[in-house]
Structure 1
Amino acid sequence: MSVVVDFETDGFALIESVVDPEELKALAPVMLREGAVGGSRCLLERPEIAALAVSLKTHHVLQSLIPKDHVAVQCTYFEKSSDRNWLVALHQDLSIPVARRVDAPRLRGWSEKEGRLFVQPPREVLEQLIAVRLHVDACGADDGPLRVVPGSHRLGLLTPEVAAAVRADRGESTCAASAGDALVMRPLALHASSKAIGTSRRRVLHFVFGPRRLPLGLDWAVANARSQAMA
């Protein structure tokens, strides 16, 4: 099957050698400064990261998975190692960063993280989002790789009980990757990760791409989301 078919069927696809690992190493000072170690959600405001988002969208394979009118709306930095270890339980990514609060019945789960406002929008918004997890380092079985439940992105918003049953029925795929690889996924795909049991470092830049305009009076938190050049 083609990458596009795999992606639409499974809700995720690994694309190899998207970015030169040496180029990613050069971004280390950008990722690490201003308290970014371990999980900053605000990296897209930095010019080097914004430029990388444009590069990802125009990549010859990724451009077949990211709609042409989508824009980069968030970049989160994750780091996992023997010194900074954590796990993530089975879940779906349901929140998006927005510029201001809007009073609408279909919006729920308002929260504030790192001084930014997040909300859980309706399913039809979440189904349009594309996440690109760019691996700064190699991520093997001992490094706490992401595990994704194939096809679960088609099932809507799931309760924890239903999510567990879906995983038991469908199983999960472990997404090992080399430095410079990109795991493209639908945020509604059920996913989890275990603690690392090795001694290496697993760093990921997690980009989210979404439609230029949002419904219900919402605007993206990123100031230049509407003015990003269409690639």
Structure 2
Amino acid sequence: MNYSTQIDSEGFSILNNVFTENEIQNIISLIENKTADNPENNTFRKSQDLFAIRQFHKEIPETLPYIFNQKLQDIIETNFGKGYFITKSIYFDKPEKSNWFVAYHQDLTISVEKKIQTENFENWTVKQNQFAVQPPTEILQNNFTIRIHIDKTTKENGALKVINNSHSKGILRIEKLNFESEKETICEVEKGGIMIMKPLLFHASNKTTNNERRRVIHIEFSRQNLPNGLEWSEKTILQN
């Protein structure tokens, strides 16, 4: 299953039927068990509009054998090659009545273990004792994200909207995009499907309008070593 041409040209690709119903149910059970046991965990963020688990692959590592089934491993290797590792993961649960939306943006930061002033690494921030920084553009250009859809995702329950090919323009202020001439796609994905996207692709998410839940596992990948002693804070090597 080679979608690399589409990912390069459009900035994203949607692949359905990557996970079986049984694999999805196993992932859901592990998440529900963990969240029931740890309601006060500070890497969990819960509100009426959003429930999120940061560092998901470290918080619930038991999910990884189900997530990295043979199909997903083959997709990664066929489209990107070998040597990729996880650099960040987040579980998002957009509840049935969520009025939360996200405006168009690019994913411009990476998580690192500690702050080391380094040329072309800019806009340092710290959240939950974790440092984030905007790396040089070429690092972002060579990374990719996979979003695993635990629920059927449609425009009515907050599917991502993207601006096709916007990743090819580099880091850009949103005002520089001429929406009149750009192509926008609503990325509807079946339960058990995935969306692959490039970090520099402009993407957004609308409010939920159909009272249906939308759960997604967002995983970012790289195979690049960082300079000057900087280390990926969530780096996890994939085990076959």
Q: Normalising by structure 2, report the TM-score.
A: 0.85
User: Which residue identity does 1:151 align to in structure 2?
Assistant: N
Correspondences of 1:85-104 after superposition (within 5 Å): 85-104=99-118
Which residue is 1:23 aligned to? 23
1:80 and 1:203 in contact (8 A); partners too: yes
1:10 and 1:151 in contact (8 A); partners too: yes
Distance 2:186 2:206 in 1: 11
Using the TM superposition, give the Cα deviation of residue 6 of structure 1 relative to its aligned residue in structure 2, in angstroms: 1.1
Which residue is 1:66 aligned to? 80
Distance 1:124 1:52 in 2: 31
**Greater Cα offset, 20-29 or 141-150:** 20-29
Which of residues 115, 120, 137 is equivalent to 2:129? 115
**SS of structure 2 residue aligned to 1:157:** coil
Using the TM superposition, give the Cα deviation of residue 112 of structure 1 relative to its aligned residue in structure 2, in angstroms: 2.0
Using the TM superposition, give the Cα deviation of residue 107 of structure 1 relative to its aligned residue in structure 2, in angstroms: 1.2
Which residue is 2:161 aligned to? 147
**SS of structure 2 residue aligned to 1:65:** helix
Gaps of 5+ in 1: none
Which residue is 1:170 aligned to? 182
**SS of structure 2 residue aligned to 1:62:** helix
User: Residues 110-138 of structure 1, C-alpha deviation per residue, up to 9 Å, x if partnerless?
Assistant: 12223322111110111111100000000
User: Structure 2 vs 1, CA of residues 118 and 55 (structure 1 numbering), >3 Å: closer, same or farther?
Assistant: farther
User: Residues 184-222 of structure 1, C-alpha deviation per residue, up to 9 Å, x if partnerless?
Assistant: 000101111111101110000001011152234311102
**Greater Cα offset, 14-23 or 139-148:** 14-23
Number of corresponding residues: 225
Distance 2:165 2:196 in 1: 14
Using the TM superposition, give the Cα deviation of residue 139 of structure 1 relative to its aligned residue in structure 2, in angstroms: 0.7
**SS of structure 2 residue aligned to 1:39:** strand
Which residue is 1:213 aligned to? 225
Distance 1:129 1:69 in 2: 12
User: Residues 140-196 of structure 1, C-alpha deviation per residue, up to 9 Å, x if partnerless?
Assistant: 121110011111111100012113x2x332121110011110000001011111111
Q: Normalising by structure 1, report the TM-score.
A: 0.88
